[in-house]
Structure 1
């Protein structure tokens, strides 16, 4: 049964069954909660919504299980606040995959029900809800608005903010070469501060614990800018061969360039840790043409969706 603690439910709703999620809008945490409530009620036979923790400011961290398969893969979005287009993408995947499962249709060449009866996909659509709310709604969305204003140099424009509400970069928080990370900010702020220790933040600790409770065959952590694909973190031998083969398939499907091994990150990211600890493939797709230090324009969503619509099903199908 789903863990419904703290969840917002609608007593009566009117909707088009195929399109619960509107991904072409500034998609807020509140809207996500509403849509998850509708989706769980609509598709209760094969979709569950769970709470896996809380953010610094007490927002629930939601995980969605889609499908009935015993094998599992994992997809997440919005580690970085300004990269909330990744939540739009993940929520649209949940919406369209669920509809396709219910109707018994294909997405691309993939028969959704066949795949999701074999391999369930777990999603965490918004890893950093406090940070996303800060970017979208400003400092008054925070429990301690004066503190975030101070970290932002008194500037009320938070469009460039990547961190969580405490000024910690959540994708520099995982225990994969954390002690040796380069290019870190000295103090909490909009970006690149790795924190006082690995997993110091409740959001990353929740994802870490959630991952360890499962046996995920693969993971995808969506980020926003560059149309490139990170896939490598010190794999060797058969693990390297397997992961590189799957990365090529993801690259061909999306059109994203595989980042060379020599140019891959130094650690601290979710997929770095997943690859090194779980010994399974993990990918960080940067989904949009480079957008700089700001949110990706919503006008890019159609392109992003076309490039990524089949990826969850494709990776699930590959995990034999």
Structure 2
């Protein structure tokens, strides 16, 4: 299916035009590669339902180094997360020549960044110059008039197990017709399956939380998580939260989720996988903070990002 028309810069309402549309994000990634061809490479993990590239920016050179992944914008309306991934790209490319700490992290790791896991939903959310409060993908649900699946309930580890997602196609947390029914989640999973990712943050908004697996159960030591492994998550989660002022907790303390990327990443591959719920803490401004918050809220996570990279 051909992609819908790309959103224009003015599709973000007044007060939000500092945010990047999908086309603008792609242009920024291309610019990063043009300016830093020795350490940056642009590719794609696959295509969205509407045919958009799921852009992947790889930072680092050489093979055999610990791999770290940052993903953003699984949920369409969470535009601040796209800015978070773009900030990571810009910081680790533009800062390479002048910041010895950044240079060392890049020289000793391979860093992957996927700024738009759900570009179709994100573009729809800003279409017409207004926000649509859209969360899900844009693939029609077979046998229903509903559109879209919650990509972060569509992963196949404990999918649909524990009342942590919905079977109602109209629900915000609809899990899909089957695990990996969405091309976006399938493509990202295939990429992870083919690589040796050791650590990962999936950025969301909002609530200012650092969350770790498991989300499908309240037990800190369910099958697949030893006491020592749970303590490692707890210790690192608390350490990262101490740098950004977020609240650290096991994901299920917020609410039960099943079929999410963090449970899958750990349960399937033992990836040290966290979810960051970014600014704000509450429903005002909720999913739509003004663009004046982009710089303070993305830079706020620099020390936590560095801590995670330093773990592997």
Say yes or no: TM over 0.5.
Answer: yes
1:223 deviation in Å?
A: 0.2
State the shift of 1:240 in Å: 1.4
Please state how far the C-alpha of 1:262 moved relative to its aligned partner.
5.5
Deviation at 1:232, TM superposition (A): 2.5
CA distance in 1, matches of 2:251, 2:47: 35
Q: Does 1:104 align with 2:98?
A: yes
Q: CA deviation at 1:63?
A: 0.8
Q: Is 2:114 the partner of 1:119?
A: no
TM-score normalised over the length of structure 2: 0.82
Note closer, same or farther for the CA distance 1:132–1:291 as it changes in structure 2 (3 Å cut): farther
Q: Tell me if structure 2 keeps the 8 A contact 1:67–1:120.
A: yes
Q: 1:75 aligns with which of 48, 57, 70?
A: 70
Question: Is 1:89 aligned to 2:101, yes or no?
Answer: no
TM-score by length of 1: 0.80
> What are the equivalent positions in structure 2 for 1:102-251 lying under 5 Å apart?
103-106=97-100, 111-138=101-128, 158-166=131-139, 167-182=148-163, 184-189=165-170, 191-233=172-214, 234=222, 235-251=225-241
Deviation readout 1:22-45 (Å, 9 max, x if unpaired): x97131001011111111111110
**Count of matched residue pairs:** 276
- Equivalent residue of 2:68, what SS? strand
* In structure 1, distance between residues paired with 2:119 and 2:37: 25
Question: What does residue 248 of structure 2 align with?
Answer: 258
CA distance in 2, matches of 1:99, 1:174: 34
Q: Deviations over 1:166-215 (max 9, x none)?
A: 21000000112113242544443472111001100000001110111111
Matched-pair contact (CA < 8 Å) for 1:224–1:296? no
Match of residue 9 from structure 2: none
Partner of 2:276: 285
1:311 aligns with 2:304: yes
Task: Decide whether the 8 Å contact of 2:164 with 2:257 is kept in 1.
Answer: no
| Structure 2 stretches lacking a partner, 5+ long | 1-15, 140-147, 215-221
Q: Secondary structure at the match of 1:82?
A: coil
**1:66 aligned to 27, 52, 59, which one?**
59
Q: Deviations over 1:92-118 (max 9, x none)?
A: 1101211111x2315xxxx01111111
Q: Decide whether the 8 Å contact of 1:271 with 1:283 is kept in 2.
A: yes
Would the alpha carbon gap of residues 283 and 260 (structure 1) be closer, same or farther in structure 2, given more than 3 Å must change? closer
- Cα 1:254/1:294, change in 2 over 3 Å: closer
In 1, Cα distance between equivalents of 2:156 and 2:180: 7
Q: Distance in 2 between matches of 1:24 and 1:279?
A: 39
Question: Is the Cα–Cα contact under 8 Å of residues 237 and 249 in structure 2 kept in the other structure?
Answer: no
Query: Alpha-carbon deviations, 1:222-271, whole Å to 9, x = none?
Result: 00100011113142222212222211211111111012465153321111
Structure-2 residue corresponding to 1:57: 50
